[in-house]
Amino acid sequence: MSTATELKQLYQKGKKRKILAMLSLFLALLLAVVVSVSLGAGSPGFAEASKVILSKLFPFLNIDPGPSLTQTIILDFRFPRIVLALIAGAGLAASGATMQGVLRNPLVSSHILGMSSAAGFGAALALVLGVGVLSGFGGYLVIVNAFLFSLLAMVIVYGIARIRGITTETVILAGVAISFLFSALTSLIQYIAPEQDALHAIVFWLMGGLSAATWDGILIVFPIVILTVALMVQQSWNINVLSMGEEVATSLGVSSKRVLTITMVLETLATASIIAFTGVIGFVCLISPHVARMLIGSDHRFLIPCSSLIGACLLLCSDTVGRLVIQPVELPVGIVTSLLGVPFFIYILASKRRQNWR
């Protein structure tokens, strides 16, 4: 048998293993959804929840959806929240995987690149200028502002990187600087905020959470996340080449500047649209790619979708725990994500056998 065939077989075997891993992740995610939809502070359990959902999905089956209260609990509260957790987790994790690959740095996340703090500042500004913080018409101002400011942060980071000549280090450093700038501005706003209420609202926003999930929001975020993640996956060959180093990429005819620009735009759109709706949710975008890398290696064609699955699973499980642990009181998902995720992540770090970052 020739070496080429052996190699090919080895590759095929690895590929099968990766697909199998992703398939099991997908099944785990489905299970998590089923469990989440069956649990809550309200009384509807698995049977009631499935009846409601099946009757909506397949109206021709004539399943009795049960009392309208049950329908409200499942369709207006639990389900949108689960869907938003899935979308947000998947989008944040995919963005993290992409940027960690392109910038060849394991620490990169939307926090490091300044987007979270810029979004926080945008939200804080809207909350303090207060065009009806808590009532219907003001909600969108906060979302739009958060989105615009995190776009602005990326534009500034990109601009600085262009002036200095785009290297991964300048992008990261510029991101860190911008992150500090916007954190300082948010602190300034909190310090001089005239209204106690606005301060309160800012603190809540910065904690992040999925309790504000509505179908309207999902209708906006879902297409953006699906599209950007698909385009990230489309870029995965280029990211693979780029992660071997700039010289290698250039010699293979891949323009590192071009790939960096494209992926940054995608990452920004995905992350900004998510955190505009959920507030700052850290950590998912940082650890999901690492867990994925340990599971299936660093081929971005698999890594990006696999990170998405892990991110979705992590955020959904955290949020469900947050909903249940001291019900009927809810914990913000950001707290739970870190409390559950960090020990898990440290365990994986400590027990990993392979070196994934050179």
Partner 1 sequence: MNKTTAALAAIILVVAVLVASYGVYRLYVPSENESQGEPITIVDATGAQINVTLPVERIVSLNPGLTEIICALDCGDRIVGRDANSVFPSSVSEKTVVGQNSYDPNLEVLLEMEPDVIVADSMLSYNTEALEKLATAGLPVVIEEPSNVSRVKIVTSNFGLIFGKEEKAAEINDYISSYENLVNERVKDLASSEKPLVYIEWYQTWQTFTEDSIANEIIVNAGGVNIAGEITTTAPVLSPEYVVEKNPDIIVRMISGDLIGNMTGFEATHSELMNRAGLGEVTAVKEGKVYVYDPIVVEGIRYPVGLLYWAKWFHPSLFEDIDPAAVHAELIQQFFGVTLEGVHTYP
Q: Closest approach of Cβ 41 to partner 1, in Å?
A: 4
- Select from 33, 185, 278, 344 the least CA-distant residue to 270: 278
The least distance separating partner 1 from the CB of residue 72, rounded to whole angstroms, comes to 5
Q: Which residue number, 7 or 69, has a Cβ lying nearer to partner 1? A: 69
Q: Which is nearer to partner 1, 56 or 162 (CB)?
A: 56
User: CA dihedral defined by 312, 314, 320, 323, rounded to 10 degrees?
Assistant: -110
Specify the residue, 41 or 294, whose C-beta has the smaller distance to partner 1: 41
Tell me which H or E stretch contains 238: helix 236-242
- Judged by beta carbon, residue 1 or residue 329, the one nearer partner 1 is 329
* Closest to partner 1 by CB, 73 or 84: 73
Q: Please, what is the minimum distance in Å from the beta carbon of residue 87 to partner 1?
A: 18
> What is d(CA 309, CA 201) in angstroms, rounded to the nearest whole number?
31
Q: Which residue's CB is nearer to partner 1, number 152 or number 198?
A: 198
Is the CB of 59 or the CB of 67 nearer to partner 1?
67
Q: Which residue has the tokens 């959470």?
A: 209
**Least distance in angstroms from the C-beta of 40 to partner 1:** 5
Q: Each residue of 189-212: b (16+ CB within 10 Å) or e?
A: bbeebeeeebbebbebbbebbbbb
Question: Given the structure tokens 């019900």, which residue do they identify?
Answer: 327
Provide the residue type at 184 as one letter. Answer: A
Smallest separation, CB 132 to partner 1 (Å)? 6
Question: Which residues lie closer than 8 Å to 255 by C-beta, 6 or more apart?
Answer: 249
Amino acid at 323: R
Burial class (CB in 10 A: 0-12, 13-18, 19+), 3: exposed
Q: CB of residue 130 vs partner 1: minimum separation in angstroms?
A: 3
Q: Give the binding site for partner 1 (CB under 8 A).
A: 40-43, 68-69, 72-73, 76-78, 130, 132-137, 194-198, 200-201, 204, 209, 211-212, 214-215, 323, 326-330, 332
Task: Write down the residue that tokens 């699973």 correspond to.
Answer: 313
Instruction: Tell me how far, at minimum, the Cβ of 48 lies from partner 1, in Å.
Output: 12
Considering the complex, state which of residue 169 and residue 216 has its C-beta at the smaller distance from partner 1. Answer: 216
Integer-rounded Cα Rg, in Å, for the chain is 21
Distance CA 58, CA 55 (A): 5
User: What is the closest distance, in whole angstroms, from the C-beta atom of residue 194 to partner 1 in the complex?
Assistant: 8
**What type of residue is 265?**
V
